[in-house]
Amino acid sequence: MSWETVPVEEEGIFFEAYRTTDELYNVRDTFFPLNPLDKFTKMRQLSSSALTLLDSIPTENRKLPMQRATYEYLRGKILDASPEYKKEAEEHLTKAVKLNPSLADAWLSLGNCIWKKGELVTAMNCLKLALKKGPHKKILCLLSMLERKVSQDVESIEYVEESIKHAREAVSLDVKDGYSWYNLGNAFLTSFFMTLRLDLSPLLQAMKAYQNAERDERMQSNPDLYFNSATTHKYLENYERALSGFEAAALKDPGLGAAAEVERIVKLVDGVDRLLHVYANSKRLASIAASINTVQVNPSYRNFSIDTLQEGDNRAVAIIGKVLNRVLHESATPEYYILCDPNQICYVLTVYGTVIDMGDDSKHILQDDQVMVLDPHYRQVDFSWKGKSYKFRSVRVDQVKQLLVNGMSLKLTRNAATPLRALHKP
């Protein structure tokens, strides 16, 4: 059975009701005024106009099953435009899919409505039942979103993998559709936070997906795309791109909280820059570096100094350093530390995605601890923002098993939360 779409030919009142409903959802998804009340008022006016148009359709013009299904679908979709669940919306949408099981948009709206109700398994079953009638990119995208929500509720990696699978299927149906690419980017970014990876492939795949999404002009009004893309760059330590992305998101939706993200990153890199400057000029640096004890882990690892690392991954390599200080910041992850190596070279160590259990009440690596990093991922951070330049060496760790602190392995207590926008928003 093939999918059918809602008739949009110029058929008088039905067409006008469809057009007004489309405008209602366009306001919901793209209008972000400084005063949220302006959006609420505009949506209420459009919703009222659309419902009035539907009520004015003569009874004889909605007797046929297709006409009745269209009427029930539009009424349910209009009622479902608000953030909260409405039983009346579900009732109308349920009637629509019963009258015309091939109406894809009605299945999509019904799944969305049931999600708001909080019945996630029922919503997933609804969307999967719809997909048995044939592939549909919007239904696949919504199912992918729902699976990401469930994955975090039950802490199941399997749901993340299903989310990526369905997101890929949506892209394959229309490679030029920006929303499908955006959804795939969100799936990869969720994978990065939900799974323990030694490589950056989920972040890199998310970045590429967001770049493809940005090529679609229709996505340029989506502030969540810019926010999530900026989040990806933040965790790739592309700080300049992250700042630019969060700034763009803040301009598109002032209520998004992106401006606060800009402030956090600036505060972070300012703190890193200040501490590196202080310790680089410290009279104690030579004695601290001299106190570092060289330790051989095993014959398969070679001991390197920070200045001999190559950009990117350094497999079968170990570096050792002394913790000078911890960089305080507002985000849950990563942890930032200032270290120096035996050659008195100071650098930043970032530990991603975890809270570290040291076996006692402490949850952090401490000052004066000796840290060995296995298979370090290295990069030279070098960028400017608002007239100020930042330049420092950075080593990242994505799994605690890459760390030995004072010769001891560390324990993982939990994964960090995923800081994404529109991850679970039906």
Domains in the chain (CATH in brackets) are: 1-134 (1.25.40.10), 283-415 (2.40.50.550)
C-alpha dihedral (101, 104, 106, 110), degrees to nearest 10: 100
CA nearest 163: which of 119, 127, 210?
A: 127
- The CA angle 418-420-425, to the nearest 5 degrees, is 115
157-173 and 178-194 helices, crossing angle to 10°: 160
Contact yes or no for 421/256 (Cβ under 8 A): yes
pLDDT per residue as tens, the chain (426 positions):
455 555 544 457 888 998 999 999 999 988 888 888 999 999 999 999 999 999 998 888 888 888 899 999 999 999 999 999 999 999 999 999 999 999 999 999 999 999 999 999 999 999 999 999 899 999 999 999 999 999 888 878 899 999 999 999 999 999 999 999 999 999 999 998 887 555 689 999 999 999 999 999 999 989 999 999 999 999 999 999 999 999 999 999 998 899 999 999 999 999 999 999 999 999 999 999 999 987 777 788 999 999 999 999 999 999 999 999 999 888 767 889 999 999 999 999 999 855 554 444 455 689 999 999 999 999 999 999 999 999 999 999 988 888 999 988 876 555 455 555 555 455
